[in-house]
Amino acid sequence: MKKSPFIMVMNFMSSSESRDQLYARRQDKIDSFVFDQRVAAVFSDMISRSVPGYASIIGMIGILARKHAVAHSNLYDLGCSLGAATVSMGRELADRDCCLIAVDSSQAMLEKAGELFARHDLSAVTTICNDIRNVKISNASVVVLNFTLQFLAVDERLSLLKNIHAGMLDEGVLILSEKIAGQDEAEDQLLMELHHAFKRANGYSELEISQKRAALEEVLVPETIAVHRERLSKAGFRRVDLWFQCFNFVSFIARP
Ligand code: GEK
């Protein structure tokens, strides 16, 4: 019997070899966060202890892909990291003739993603090591940006979304997950406190939380839900629905 997406995600998580302790020791100078080999080695532990709802989102991406994937079309996972969303889609679409394309600019991430694809019998996945801004999107029924857009400079986000929109089939969906800013200072503070409480509950110390926050300061720029909706609409998406939120982490479905 095929395993459920939830079980699949738990298996994916438990395959992580190392616990994230990258910010456990006090550092004199905090360098900007980069997706290098050290991060790739602990990534599945890092993201599951840092992003509330990550496992659910990954599982649901498979469900959403099953609902919206069109036969003989392309499915993109942009900023795939270790390929969790690709695996989730691939397992749901084994019976459909679709092409899975996983893109990331980090070679270290893609090497590990390749191992995961092989473990899940998904060696047909096309992996592309490149900046997502350079990748032509075509014949796409599902495009996933799972916590990736937030790493692009704010003024580069609209043109990426326009490029994605131009390469999508009318019946397709873009799944966009992002860390968000609150709509005002009070909401922002509340969501941040809840997120930090989540990280503490998952074993991160105050030092780890504050050093990671400093490393991400200018690298990950969150925006409000309203800004995302407006930009998606400007990029040509005619309908945008929020299907997931936990604290300051959300996911939208946008239709071309
Ligand atoms: C998941 N989606 O597990 N071009 C290509 N890749 C990029 C770019 C870019 N311009 N900018 C960042 N990345 C994954 C999680 S992580 C989110 C995504 C996080 C890549 C970067 O190398 C990293 O692998 C990924 O986007 C962001 O479902 O760490 O919070």
Q: What is the per-residue pLDDT across 96-135, written as a single tens digit (0 to 9) for each?
A: 899 999 999 999 999 999 999 999 999 899 999 999 999 9
From residue 231, how far is each of 49, 137, 185 by CA, in Å? Answer: 29, 19, 22
State how far the Cα of 253 lies from the Cα of 242, in Å rounded to an integer: 6
Give the position, in ligand 1's atom list, of the atom nearest the Cα of 220: 30
Q: What is the per-residue pLDDT across 68-106, written as a single tens digit (0 to 9) for each?
A: 999 999 999 999 999 999 999 999 998 889 999 999 999
Token pair, residue 85, equals 């969303």
CATH (one of 3.30.360.10, 3.30.1300.10, 3.40.50.150, 3.90.580.10) for 5-182+218-255? 3.40.50.150
Mutate to test the pocket of ligand 1, among 16, 22, 35, 144 (most ligand atoms within 8 A of CB): 35
pLDDT of residue 24: 87
Q: How far is the CA of 103 from the centre of ligand 1 (A)?
A: 9
Q: How far is the CA of 46 from the centre of ligand 1 (A)?
A: 13
82: nearest Cα among 29, 52, 127: 127
Answer yes or no: are the C-beta atoms of 116 and 82 closer than 8 Å: yes
Nearest CA owner, ligand 1 atom 25: 79
* pTM of the shown model: 0.94
**Residue 17 in this model has a pLDDT that exceeds 90:** no
pLDDT of residue 3: 54
Q: Measured from the CB, is residue 76 less than 6 Å from ligand 1?
A: no
